[in-house]
Structures are given as C-alpha cells and as structure tokens.
A and B are shown apart, each in its own frame.
Chain A
C-alpha cells in the first residue's frame, strides 16, 4: 500500500519564508514541550498545512519531529533528576495501544459521518477536554499559588487510589509513589487516544499523572516526555512505512525545537511547581478558544448551520492565530520566569563560599 500513497503525495518546495516559519514555530513549540511535557504539535500541523503541506505529510512529519524532541528533552530533564523512566515507559506502551484505539475510533467516525463529521468530532473533543482539564489545572495552579506554607503532597484522589492494593502494584522511585497498574493503564490509554485525536496527548497525560496517579507537576511533565517519545516513535514508524514523512520539514523543525526543548527543560529547574500547571492551563484554555472558532466551519459543512463563507473563513483564520497566540503566551511566560528566576538566584547567591 505504501507505494501508491507516496506517489500521490506532494512535497512542497522550501522557501526562506517556509524555513524561517518552521524554525521559529519549532523553537517555540520545543520550549513549551520542554517545560510542560508536550505541546507545540497542535500548532505545527495546521501551520505546515497553511504552507501547503498535505494533511497526511503534515501529521506524519509532526509526529516524526515529536519523538526526537521528546527524547532530547527527556534526557535533559533526566539529568535534573525529574524523569521517572519506568513510569514513562509503562505509560508509553499503554499509550501506544491508546493511539491505535484512537485511530480506530477516528476511522469509524470518518466512515459513518464523513470528513466534516470527523473534524467536528476532533474539535468537539478538543474543546471538551481542554476546557474541563485546563480549567481544573488552572484552578489548582491558582490555589497552589495563593496557598501559604507547605503545599499538600498529593491530591486526594491520587492518595485514595494509591491506598487501593490490586495486583499488580507498581512502585516508581523517582516519582515516589506506589499504585496499582489498573489505575495507570486508563490514564495511559486516554493519553494515547487523545494523542491520536488531537496530536497532543500530554493535555491528558500530564494532568492524569498529577491528579490521578499523584506525581508532582515536575515529574509528571518530565515523564510525559518519555511517553511522547514512545508514542512518537511508534507513530513515526507507521507513518514512515507509508512514506509520508518529509524529512526536510522534520529536520528544519527539529533545528529550532531542540534549542527550545533544552531551554524549556532548564526553565523547569527555576520555577515553582504551580508555574508548570499555570503555563499548561493557560495554553490549554487558549487553544480551547481557538478550536471553538473552528467548529462553525465543520457545522457548515455538515449543513447544521448556514453561515456566510467569508465569516467562516475569518473564523478559521482567527482559530489559527489564537492557537499561535496560545503558544506564544506559554513561551513568553516560560522565558520571563526563567530569566527572572535566574537573575534573582544570581543576586541571592552572589559567589561561592569564601569568595
């Protein structure tokens, strides 16, 4: 099957504008990924498509850039002692299964409701998940920020789940928790399914790790990179099997995103716990708004509504720009906090002892 697909696909010519655009989006996406464990991918796919890259190539190339980025980020954050490899790998394997399930659901919807129905489903999931989870994370971040004194060790739900002993129990040393595999698997599956649907599994994976499994936001976002690596590698092999990966696009995005991911990982060592949640929630909520603007287009296609074409086109454009805005906002918060914390640390600890 892979032969004919490749022949039909069109690979774009690279112009300076294209290269610059991909490099910058890559950098910002990488920065966010390094910091919150995922993200950036949701802008890249529509971004590439706006450059004229066919949908499948955009998705495949995005996937192919995701796993090396996650790998580099995970290695960097492992050096800071934030990654629970075992947690990441187990989650990653089940997330991979989740991806396959997600694809099957997608295909079923595509068959029954057609392309527009599928798009509507994706956007609907997008808005639903992002608003609910994003809202919850934001509430938690604000509470943590306002709370004086010692922050609670782990959320109530996670604590309760950790006490339930059902074989097989898994112990995660870096994350410092012990939980039954039966609670881990649903989170992993959901992560994979979301990744298959909206390309960013981390929006479920990281909050899931924090609130259901009970990892700290630092460990959760760092281990999410391992999950993203496993999922990305699996996905890439499948896409590459069909010859849809444009290695040039991948390499240009990687050129920028590896700079970003390093910086994002460095950023996590400076900020407080709630900051990761805060950045994540901010991005999720803004992206939810963006997807909301995309819905009328699909409703129109399904002939549920009859809006004027021009206004639908405008909304689609707004949707894309709002998404870029989400990423930029996240990146700005990260950078500002990183450099602020750095200068403050320098001021507080002027020189090594005895100097």
Chain B
C-alpha cells in the first residue's frame, strides 16, 4: 500500500448561525487537536473534547492516524481503518453539532509524533492536543509544540465495566500482586515453619547430646550461638510470614499517620465519585 492511497479526508462542517452571533465575525478560532490511532475514536474522548471546545469556544480537529499503512494484508487493515474512520467521524460530528462545535476531520498516516508535529505546523492555532487511548503520551509530547492531555474515563461509558480505564492495568496488577503476595506468605509460612520445626526437633529429640556439648563451654560456645542464629532465621521468617498471611502487616501509610487519615475521613464528607472523562496533563 502506498501512502498516496491513503486519501486525506478533510471535511468542513459549515459553521452554524450560532457562531456568527450578533454579526460579529470571530476572526481567530482556536482548535483542539484530538488524535486517535484507532479506527473508532473512543466516545469519552470525543465527549471530553466537545465539552471543552464548547466551554472555550474552540473548534476541533479530529485526526485519525493510521500508524500501519503498509501492513501486509493486502490493504485489508487500511480499508477497515478508513471505513471505521468514516463512522467515527460521523459520530463525532453528531456529538459536536449538538453542542454547536465545529469538527474538522483529518485522516493521515505515519508515526503519531511526526503526524502531530506536521499538523501543528500546517493547521494554525492548535491550542492543545487530546490523545485517545492506545497512544503513548511520550511519543506525542516529544514532538508536540503544545500541551498534550490524555483522558481518563470509566469504561461504563464505553459500554463496559465500571472501571477507570486509565488505572485498569495498574489495578489489575495490584490485585494480582496482593493475591500472589498472600500466596507467597503462605508458602513462606509453610517452608519456614517446616524448617523451624526441623531445627526444634533436632535439638529437643537429642536433648542429652545437645546439652552435653552445648554446655561444655570454651569453643563449644559457638554451638548455642549458631543454633540461635538458625532459629532466628527460620523462626523469624516463619513468624513474619505467619502474621502477614493472617493479614496483620505494617501500616501502609506510615508517613501519613492513621490519626490524620481518621481526621480526614471524619472531617471531609464522602464525595460522590466523579465519573466524567477528565484530562491528564503531560507532566
């Protein structure tokens, strides 16, 4: 597939009469560049961009960037991408029109960073960039002359579970980690428990022999010390994982004292969780 085949689609939605209010022509309208590398731009991102554009009286440039224009599948991917892009553009336009925001749609191909850089210089007055899921922020930030935002949203909006997508992977990791750490504690508890039992059995089953040698004194003084070190290793680890396995562990917020948390918890009323899509700055 040659890049030429990727047609640039530029659609101007004519400004509605609302923008020409009071006959004063708005000379310089700023733009928000919304970038996606997916065929379908995620709706929360669209909604966020439309919301902000409406409030700031900006217009939107929506860019669908095909990052794999030369994908070796006989142009199937590119074709699908193009059709998805059409659908997505239509949806975006609908959403924007309802709020009186203009959307200019661009289809492009290449590396995200390069395309963004090119667009920022060719299209005038792009104030900031909003990136869709699946784009690495660093990639855009390194090339972009303007601030870059990613959008955090809950998947319920996208018709899935009510989980913040932005934290999704992190949270999964955290849960998985707590499961594995619990398993690890149990395993440690078991291993060191057996080791401890072995040390104790060895000493107490041979009491006479042990007492005879261990109390000889002199160089034999090292015997009790060595055994005690073994006990502190085996039994120390056992007791540590024992309490951990029971869920009794050190405070997770040793820096923030529990009392402070308590205070906060009682002082601040419980705020309803904000599930609206929100931007995250590129810092």
Query: Do A and B interact with each other, yes or no?
Result: yes
A residues near B (Cβ < 8 Å) are 2-3, 5-6, 9, 11, 64-65, 67-69, 71-72, 75-76, 79-81, 233, 236-237, 240-248, 250-251, 254-255, 258-259, 261-263, 265-266, 269-272, 341-342, 344-345, 347-349, 352-355
Chain B residues in 8 Å Cβ range of A272: 257, 259
Q: Are B261 and A345 in contact (CB under 8 A)?
A: yes
CB distance from A32 to the nearest CB of B (A): 16
B3: interface (CB < 8 Å): no
Residue of B nearest to A337 (CB): B258
Q: Please report the total number of B residues contacting A with Cβ < 8 Å.
A: 49
Q: Are A72 and B164 in contact (CB under 8 A)?
A: no
Chain A residues in 8 Å Cβ range of B228: 64-65, 67-68, 236, 247, 250-251, 254
**Distance A349 CA – B207 CA, assembled complex (angstroms):** 51
B218: interface (CB < 8 Å): yes
B195: interface (CB < 8 Å): no
Per-residue CB contact flags for chain B residues 204-229 toward chain A (1 = under 8 Å, else 0) read: 10010011001111101111110111
Residue of B nearest to A1 (CB): B217
**Distance A64 CA – B224 CA, assembled complex (angstroms):** 8
CB distance from B183 to the nearest CB of A (A): 19
CB distance from B215 to the nearest CB of A (A): 4
CB < 8 Å: which of A3, A75, A246, A344 contacts B217?
A3
Chain B residues in 8 Å Cβ range of A80: 250, 254
B248: interface (CB < 8 Å): yes
B64: interface (CB < 8 Å): no
CB distance from B182 to the nearest CB of A (A): 15
CB distance from B241 to the nearest CB of A (A): 9
Q: Are A245 and B214 in contact (CB under 8 A)?
A: yes
Chain A residues in 8 Å Cβ range of B27: none
Q: Are A237 and B225 in contact (CB under 8 A)?
A: yes
A247 and B227 contact, Cβ closer than 8 Å, known pairs A80-B250, A242-B217, A269-B251: yes
**Interface SS of B by simple majority:** helix
Q: Are A247 and B251 in contact (CB under 8 A)?
A: no
Interface window among B47-55, B93-101, B232-240 = B232-240
**Distance A266 CA – B214 CA, assembled complex (angstroms):** 34
**Distance A246 CA – B239 CA, assembled complex (angstroms):** 23
Residue of B nearest to A9 (CB): B215
Q: Are A2 and B217 in contact (CB under 8 A)?
A: yes
**Distance A111 CA – B200 CA, assembled complex (angstroms):** 41
CB < 8 Å: which of B171, B217, B236, B264 contacts A243?
B217
What are some 10 contacts across the A-B interface (CB < 8 A)?
A80-B254, A240-B220, A240-B221, A247-B227, A248-B211, A263-B248, A266-B249, A341-B251, A345-B252, A353-B164
B253: interface (CB < 8 Å): yes
CB distance from A257 to the nearest CB of B (A): 9
Residue of A nearest to B265 (CB): A348
